Structure 1
Amino acid sequence: MNQKQLERMAGGQGFIAALDQSGGSSPKALERYGITSDAWKTDGEMYDLMHEMRTRMMKSPSFDNRILGAILFENTMDRQVDGKDTADFLWEEKGVIPFLKVDKGLEPEKDGVQLMKPIPNLAQTLEKAKGRHIFGTKMRSVIHAANPKGIEEIVRQQFEIGKQIADAGLVPILEPEVDITIADKAEAEDILLKDIQEELAKLPADTKI
């Protein structure tokens, strides 16, 4: 674990940039930048265009110390910017802490929540991420109702996988997201806070999340 990155993440201020659009969401992201689907014929060509777009963003003067961290899609982590691995470019040239999206999407809704799908080969992915100088990870699940059973399960899953990530030497962002449109949002957040506090109390003092 990079101590300077840990200190900046713990004490710094700024945004965390989401540069982690996957294959499913990439066409919509490209379209918003004026690149329509007739600009590519294969997934490989689409990912090339996505990386060009992300590279322009990362190299922009506006991508500065207001950005504390950036979440990368695995395909982006495996590429380079100006001859450097993407994570190295972010940290060495911009002072931005690199994270990796590790979740594989969401299960269908049950008990008012969407749990994460299984994450195959997570241990191997974490080892590769460490070799690419990734600091931490991000994984998202969604709460659609103030259902105590569902929220308890979503928090349990987040912490269970988060502990595996922390044990591997990376710092996980746990993201049990509450849908901002639901009528019982405040109640869902109260339940979520209680469950998170209970799980935090179980963690060893030296676990970083």
Structure 2
Amino acid sequence: MSIQSELQATIADMVGEGKGILAADESLPTIAKRFKAVNVESTEENRRAYRSLLLTTPGLGEFISGVILFEETLGQKTADGKPLPQAAAEQGVVPGIKVDKGTIPLVNAPGDLVTQGLDGLADRLTGYKEQGARFAKWREVYPIAGHNPTMLGIKTNAEVLARYAAICQSLGIVPIVEPEVLLDGDHTIERCFEVTEAVQHAVFHALHRHRVELEHIILKPSMILPGKDAPKKAGPQEIAEKTLAQLRRTVPAAVPSINFLSGGQTPEEATANLNAINAMAGNAPWQLSFSYARALQDPVLKTWQGKAENAQVAQQALYKRAKLNSVARTGSYTSEMEKD
């Protein structure tokens, strides 16, 4: 199969009506923090058991078309010895892999960060592909503060995202491009709009320079939200209006799917906001979907608590949240559905 057909086949499998992506790619420090909140020790066995529970959830493939895995998970197996990427694929869920190596401060841009991991990326991707990964994910983050992000920060991060995406496509791996404008801070929703617009413009200019085929990427952006400490909050209607206005200004129609990150929203907020966006989207050229981590997993972790006897109920919690977000993709979710 040619690289072009490989990329197209993966996009076809991942961009489905009513489906979204489960992000289960927490790094070791992050999953330790999530486990600690429910009094579970972050051992390799507990991580394997938890991620196995996620990927073997009955019916998961009805609403989830792809799963982003952490490197460790690619090599782990279910209790009966099946590789976890295979367990996902058998549900109709495309396995993918987070490939960035985390952020460091960007020199000469105080307050801005840049993501590491480009060195040796092609070799790592080749290995991940042999383990079953068909797409990858790379995240750049943009803190909002008085002087941040700087123009240097915006341009450097865009360049790194584009280099990563070009390397992925050269190997037949679909890149998820994630420019995350952080929710931390007390900034207004207008300030978030302004920063996100500048970030997205820079990202698409860089993708163009690096000859990345937009038909074979998935964009994973933040919604337009006020900072979590902002005195003035915003409802789903305003969030949807501003998010769609910003996307129309910056994201070319060639991009097949925009899968929002939840970025610190509660599961209910993330679903309600996704619903409002889809209800208002009209004839938007892209699919408007989700790629949630906490907003899908929080209820699962709270139900599971590291106990094998809770696994089935925890899987039901995941199925429910995935289903509600699937409904939100049609703009017909209501808060009443949370009670079912």
Match of 2:71 in 1: 74
1:65 CA displacement: 1.9
Match of 1:165 in 2: 168
The RMSD of aligned alpha carbons is: 2.3
Contact 2:103 2:116 in 1 (8 A): yes
1:178 CA displacement: 0.4
Unpaired runs of 5+ residues, structure 1, are: 38-45
- Alpha-carbon distance in structure 1 between the residues aligned to 2:134 and 2:207: 21
Match of 2:153 in 1: 150
- Alpha-carbon distance in structure 1 between the residues aligned to 2:138 and 2:213: 22
Q: Deviations over 1:156-182 (max 9, x none)?
A: 111012111211221111111101235
Match of 2:123 in 1: 124
- Alpha-carbon distance in structure 2 between the residues aligned to 1:170 and 1:106: 23
Match of 1:53 in 2: 50
What TM-score does the superposition give when structure 1 sets the normalisation length? 0.84
Computing the radius of gyration over CA atoms, which structure comes out larger, 1 or 2?
2
Matched residue SS, 1:84: coil
Contact 1:146 1:187 in 2 (8 A): no
Sequence identity percentage: 26
Amino acid of the residue matched to residue 96 of structure 1? V
Alignment size in residue pairs: 200
Q: Deviations over 1:27-53 (max 9, x none)?
A: 21222343146xxxxxxxx11210111
Contact 1:111 1:150 in 2 (8 A): no
Match of 2:37 in 1: 32
The alpha-carbon distance between structure 1 residues 60 and 34, as it changes in their structure 2 partners (threshold 3 A), is farther
Please point out which of 189, 202, 211 is paired with 1:195. 202
Matched residue SS, 2:21: strand
Match of 1:9 in 2: 14
1:4 CA displacement: 4.4
- Alpha-carbon distance in structure 2 between the residues aligned to 1:59 and 1:205: 33
Q: Deviations over 1:94-142 (max 9, x none)?
A: 1111110111110125355311123443222111111112111111111
- Alpha-carbon distance in structure 1 between the residues aligned to 2:7 and 2:204: 27
Unpaired runs of 5+ residues, structure 2, are: 1-5, 218-340
Match of 1:95 in 2: 92
- Alpha-carbon distance in structure 1 between the residues aligned to 2:44 and 2:140: 25
